[in-house]
Amino acid sequence: MSNVCIAVGRGRGTPALSAWDICSTLMTLVVYAPLSVLASLCTISDFRWNGITEQISHDLLLCLGRYLPVSVIQRASDKDGTILQQSLRYTNASFRIAERVQRPDFAGYWVYRDSSIEARPQDADLVLFHLHGGGYVMGHPLDNAPELLLIAEALSRRNHTVAVFSLEYTLVPNAPLPTQLDQATAAYTWLTRELKVDTSKLYLIGESAGGHLIVSLLVALYQRSLCLPPTGLPKPGAAFLISPWVNLNPCGPDAQAQGRNLDPRSAAFKHVLERFSVLVRHDVPLGHSELYGNFARPAAERGSWKDILPAKTWVSAGTAEPLFRFDIEEFVESARRDGAEVRFELAEGKVHVWQSVEAREQEKDFLALVLGKDKIELMPGYRHIAELICSCIESVPDSSA
């Protein structure tokens, strides 16, 4: 009998489909999608099969992101962990995966828990708190489950016990900002106060909008520490920001503002991003926008990044993501001017959240391996992150020594 625990269910607050949604979906699939494929075929420069399929897939996804109704987009991702349940790798795993948590003020999944700390995650060497991406409009905590499991396995091989929790925050427009921040704060409070997880052993990791939510959480924790009496919690031991969406206004210092021309793919992605941005920034309180809307610009009322960010903060970006790169660089430079220690890695020729993009193409190969077997060429971006996390853990002096 399998020891894997898989939770089945829909995401929080997924909107119902209207007749207009159905008509718009049919129009997208019958008209826009075929035109997108045709346009891809007319502009292909790499005539290898892999190059052709990659470009068509990329352009098709951008088309769907631009024209599909949001209610349909939010149903697109795997929400029940089936890919894990049916995989050769995890069918008979001895540890717990994809176990859902439902609380009054937040929900999420224990993506992974070592069997030795199953009932007491506070005893783990590390608790990884994950916040998924998707522009606040799409995505699900199990979307990156194979990558998070790879990280957990890498830590386990180094004899580190680990638990991984991924937040299932309510998507926009089902709930406006700052609902997602409130949920992230509630989950952080639950981990640290109720489960008694030591914040020095609590690391945050997130992609794109998840990166924005991480920085928002760190700002909120700092703001609470300024109250009288202080109501904040200690900041975590480390933060790993994968192509963070630091400026919610996509018309900021992007490639066009820098005097460069956007390539066709970036231009198409900009349209998708603008669509999501309008939804995200709608009905957001002014005070919230000033503190959390654009982390690429200094804000006196926000405070110093040295006080806000963990001592171990890692940020990544790619040179081929012009809509995010320059904002990310300005965020890193601003943090460093404040005296914060931020490790920044800019990958040559890589796109937005390239670690996830490359991993998604290799997840099936990884899940088809027997547990205990490995191929080091699979998901290299997340393997690198796993090494960074191991380095952070192993650099902490042993207080019992």
- Tens-digit pLDDT profile for residues 117-129: 888 999 999 999 9
Instruction: Reply yes or no on whether the pLDDT at 28 is more than 90.
Output: no
User: Measured between alpha carbons, how far is 272 from 101 in angstroms, rounded to an integer?
Assistant: 31
Residue 8 pLDDT level (bands cut at 50, 70, 90): very low
pLDDT > 70: percent of the chain: 87
Q: What is the mean pLDDT of residues 56-74?
A: 79
**What stretches of 293-398 show up as alpha helix (H) in DSSP?**
305-308, 322-337, 354-360, 363-367, 380-394
User: Mean pLDDT over all residues of the chain?
Assistant: 87
Lowest model confidence (mean pLDDT) among 33-37, 41-45, 202-206, 351-355: 41-45
User: Which of helix, strand or coil describes residue 361?
Assistant: coil
Q: Collect all residues with Cβ–Cβ distance below 8 Å to 174 and sequence separation of at least 6.
A: 12, 13, 14, 15
Q: What does the pLDDT average to over 56-78? A: 77
Tell me how far apart the alpha carbons of residues 74 and 66 are, in angstroms, rounded to a whole number. Answer: 13
Structural domains in the chain? 18-68 (no CATH), 80-394 (3.40.50.1820)
Q: Which of these ranges, 24-33, 92-101, 179-188, has the smallest mean pLDDT?
A: 24-33
Asked if 244 and 212 touch (Cβ cutoff 8 Å), the reply is: yes
Full-model pTM: 0.89
* Amino acid in the structure at residue 338: D
Confidence band (pLDDT; 50, 70, 90) for 231? confident
Q: How many CB atoms lie within 10 A of CB 299?
A: 14
State residue 106's pLDDT score: 98
| CB 77 within 8 Å of CB 61 | no
| Model confidence at 105: pLDDT above 90 | yes
Q: Answer left, alpha or beta for residue 146, where phi above 0 means left and psi between -120 and 50 means alpha.
A: alpha
Give which of 199, 145, 195 is closest to 168, Cα–Cα.
145
Residue range 196-215: average pLDDT?
Answer: 97
Comparing CA positions, the residue from 312, 288, 280, 327 lying closest to residue 389 is 312
- Give the residue, 211 or 31, on which the prediction is more confident: 211
* Residue 84 backbone class (left: φ over 0; alpha: ψ -120 to 50; beta: rest): alpha
Nearest of 121, 123, 140 to residue 131 by alpha carbon: 140
Question: Residue 257: its pLDDT value, please?
Answer: 47
**Cα–Cα distance measured from residue 186 to residue 297, given in angstroms and rounded to the nearest whole number:** 27
Report the number of secondary-structure helices (H) and strands (E) in the chain.
15, 8
Provide the pLDDT for residue 24: 82
> Is the per-residue pLDDT at 376 higher than 90?
yes
Percentage of the chain beyond pLDDT 90 is: 61
Write out the two tokens for 248.
């919610």
Cα torsion 288, 282, 104, 203 to 10°: value is -60
Predicted pLDDT at 327: 93
pLDDT tops 80 at residue 153 = yes
CA distances from 238 to 132, 243, 391 (A): 17, 16, 11
pLDDT in tens, 299-345: 999 999 999 999 999 999 999 888 899 999 999 999 999 999 999 99
- pLDDT band per the 50, 70, 90 thresholds, residue 399: very low
Question: Which among 87-101, 123-137, 271-285 has the top mean pLDDT?
Answer: 123-137
Residue 15 above 70 pLDDT?
A: no
**pLDDT at 6 > cutoff 50:** no
- Least confidently predicted of 46-50, 203-207, 235-239, 381-385: 46-50
User: How far is 335 from 317, CA to CA, in rounded Å?
Assistant: 16
Least confident of 84-98, 145-159, 212-226: 84-98
Any idea what DSSP says for residue 127?
Answer: E
Q: Classify residue 251 by its DSSP letter.
A: T
Q: Are strands 238-242 and 312-318 parallel, antiparallel or unpaired?
A: parallel
Burial class (CB in 10 A: 0-12, 13-18, 19+), 15: middle
CA separation for the pair 103, 108 (Å, rounded): 9
What are 82's two structure tokens? 């089936």
pLDDT digits (tens, 9 = 90+) for 251-288: 555 444 454 566 777 777 888 899 999 999 998 988 89
pLDDT of residue 154 exceeding 80, the answer is: yes
Chain centroid to Cα 280, Å, comes to 16
Query: What is the Cα–Cα distance from 9 to 19, expressed in whole angstroms?
Result: 24
Q: Could you tell me the strand order of the sheet in which 126-131 lies?
A: 96-102, 107-113, 162-167, 126-131, 202-207, 238-242, 312-318, 342-347
